[in-house]
Structure formats: C-alpha cells, structure tokens
Amino acid sequence: MESSQKKTKITETLPDDLVDHIMSVCLPIQYVLRNRSVSKKFKDTEIRSRDLDFSKIYSVRCGQQKAVRIIESVFNDYKGSEINRFVLLLNHIGVEDKILSWINTCLGKNIQELVLDFSKSKKVANIPVDFSAIETLTVLKLGWCSFKIPDNSLKGLKLLKTLALTKINELNKDMIDAIFSNCIHLETLELINCLMYGILSINAQNHKKFKSLVVSTMPNLFEIIVDAPTLECYKYDGYCNKMVYFSRVHALKEAKLHYNRSFSWRYSDPSDMLLANMRAYIRVRVLATTNIFLEALTCRYNGGAIRRQIFCFWSLQEFQISFKAPTVCNLFDIAQFLQQCPNLKKVLIDINDYTFEPGVFWEVHHQQHIRIHNYCLNSIKFVEIMGYKNHSHELDIMEFFVRYAKSLEKLTLTKPRNPKIKLFEPDNARINYIKSMSQKNDLIEFI
C-alpha cells in the first residue's frame, strides 16, 4: 500500500525472474494452471512446479477424459528438473499406459512423495512398477493399487517415513517384517481394508521414530501384536473380535478405537476381549471410541453377582465417545467412566446417529443414583454434545455436567449434521433451570 488511494500489485515490486520462479516452480500445479488460464502475463509460464497434486482435478465439472488430457499436457510440457510430490486420484481403467508414463517421469526426477488412489474404479490397479525399489521416497500412499515386495526383500524405501496401504490384496507377515527391517526411518504405517489373514505383528522395537499405527477394516485378522516403544498414536476401526497385545507402549498418548458390531453380536459379548486389552490404554491422553467400549466397563449381573471392572485413566485429558444403536448405555455409564478420569479436561459426545432410550432401569435405579451421588469432575472445562435433538435424556446429560463439573467453561450443543433428522420440542423451562444452576451467563452455547 503506497497510499490510502493507491495499491501496488506484489508482482510489480519483485524482479521478473523471481516472479517467474515463484509462479512456475514454488506454487502447486493447480495454481500454476489457474494463473496460466486467467492471466495474460503468465499464460506462457513454463511448468516446473515440484508439487503435482491432481487429487481435486477429477470432479463433476472436470470428467475423466478432460482430467486425463490436462494431466497429460502437464507432463508433456514439463520443464522442471525435480518433482517432489505426485498425487493422483483417478479411474485407472483404460489409461494404464499413461499412468505408467507419468509415474516413470516422476521416478526420473527424484520423486519424494507418491500418492496413488484408484478407488473410483472399484478395481485394484496392477501398475507394473516395483514401488518397493524406489530409493528417494519419503511418503508412499497406495489405494486400490497392487503392492508387492519381490522375495520379501526391499531394495529401496530406506528413506520412507510414511506408508499407507489401502485395499491391498496380498499382504502377509513377511512383507510387514521386511518393511520394518528395511525402513528404519518409518514414522507412520496405515493398513486400511487390506486382505491379511491370521496375525499382524509389528516388530518396531529397534525403531526410534515410529509413532503412528492405523489398522482399519481388516476382518480376517484375529490377533494384533505390537512391540513399539516409541508408538504414540494407535487407531483401530473394525470389529471388536481381536486380541491386541502391546509390549512396551509407555509412549502411547492417543488411542482411537472405533469399534463396530459384528453380524453375530447377538450371540457373542466382546466385553471380555476389550477388558483384556484395556491396560494398554490407561496411560493415553486422548481417547476416542464408541459405546461398545463403555459397555465393557459398565456394571453387569453375572451369575447373581455384580461384575464391574475398574480402570483408572490418570493421564486422560480428552475423551470422545460416539454412540450408535443398539446399545444399553446411558448417562450412568458415562458418569461411571468419567469418575475414573481425574485429570480430564475435554469431553465430546457424538449422538448424530443415535437417540437415547434409557429405559425402565434408568428411571428406577440409575437416575436416582445420579442425583444423590456426589461426582467430582472438577477438572473438566469443555463439553460438546454433537447431534443435540432436544431429547429429555440429553437434558439429563446437560444438567449432570453443569451440576458436577465445577470448572466448566463452555457447554456446546451442536445440531445434527443431517438436517432431515427430526428434533424434539425444546423443554424451555428445564433448559432455563439448568442455566440458572451456573453463575456464567454464556456457559451453554447452542450451535
């Protein structure tokens, strides 16, 4: 800004060669293409961008054929000496030769990050490239793309930090062992919807940087063994029918356990299996899970006696719970768990896909217990209920936190993300009563 009446374009204050370098090399490819199409000054700018991210090019406005033409023209006109990143989200059927040519071009220009996602085709692509032999990669993410390790011996990937495999049909123990034996700088491993049978064994005892493990939708596994002293984040999405053995996981800080019910849930109780795995999670600082996790900890009658397992989560600071039907859980189960979290600061309750049905047992026993029991939740400062529908039991939860969380700074109630979900008539009298329990006028926030 030269004065209040006159503005100067930044490109007019920089040398032309510097502007050209920024526009052609430093910017991601989508901005280079946009500048070439809307600006006369940059329409002839050479394509030397090191970030070839085409993940958003295939859309409603830009179909498959047009996307392929644009990508092909970029590689035909490419003048740069290096390509750091290549991201491709495309239907590979019918254009396998072009994709192979693009990948080979990247391999010749010291590619560091390679992301291929062929999920749009719903068919695994067999690209004739030995990804395990690429020496320059630090990030490799393959979705619906074949990945093999010839003779289970890696020739490359020694610099690899992140490996994400989705829908890989030939994954086995020897491949996993080869990855951890060779990729000594590996920090993140993601296995999503891969076909693997039996035992998944993660032997990272000699790794100093391995921090994150994701295992999602792998129903044919029956056991997961993790020996990773530096592991900080573990994410699991699937049925709760697997034993998980952790060895030396004192560094574990975050656990995201998205448990789903199996088809045989009416005939089998996963509680014992969850309880057997529970000690691995008592030191985490962030825990995100589903109501199935709470069900394993709730009080139950077994053979005429009350069965209840108590685990203290001393380090837990953030708790996220997602409810899905069917479940017997209610506020009582939430309260019983929160009692075991003396340093908890933040609670998120997701009921977007669920409406509480507390039942007779809540009305006869649990509700009275909540009223007369003195819960000490003084460390909780933030609570959010996502999917608030004005249901009476949601008001029970509101009242519980306002009454017992003495340090509460904000209670946020978010409407369901699906606008078609029916809302109940608000009980304004009770809402006003709950608000009156606190001296903070802005404690409760409706969004």
- pLDDT average per 10 residues of sequence, the chain (447 residues): 49 59 63 62 70 82 86 91 94 95 96 96 94 96 95 92 95 95 96 95 94 95 93 94 82 94 63 82 95 83 57 95 89 93 97 89 86 92 97 96 96 95 94 93 93
The tokens for 179 are 């990855």
State whether the Cα torsion 270-276-279-284 is positive or negative.
Answer: negative
Bridge partners, 192 (sequence order) = 166, 216
- C-alpha to C-alpha distances, 212 to 223, 228, 255, nearest whole angstrom: 18, 10, 10
Distance (Å, rounded) from C-alpha 218 to C-alpha 226? 16
Look at residue 1 in the predicted model and tell me its pLDDT.
37
- Those residues whose C-beta lies under 8 Å from the C-beta of residue 392, and which sit 6 or more positions away, are 424, 427
pLDDT digits (tens, 9 = 90+) for 322-362: 999 888 889 999 999 999 999 999 999 999 999 998 888 88
Using an 8 Å Cβ cutoff, are 102 and 75 in contact? yes
Distance (Å, rounded) from C-alpha 395 to C-alpha 397? 5
Look at residue 280 in the predicted model and tell me its pLDDT.
84
The tokens for 118 are 């062929």
- My answer on whether omega of the bond before 326 falls inside 30° of 0, hence cis, is yes
Residue linked to tokens 């017997």: 328
Bridge partners, 235 (sequence order) = 214, 256
DSSP-derived letter for residue 129 is -
Q: DSSP per residue over 405-426, as a string?
A: -TT--EEEEE--SSTTSPPPPP
Burial of 30 (0-12, 13-18, 19+ CB in 10 A): middle
Using an 8 Å Cβ cutoff, are 147 and 173 in contact? no
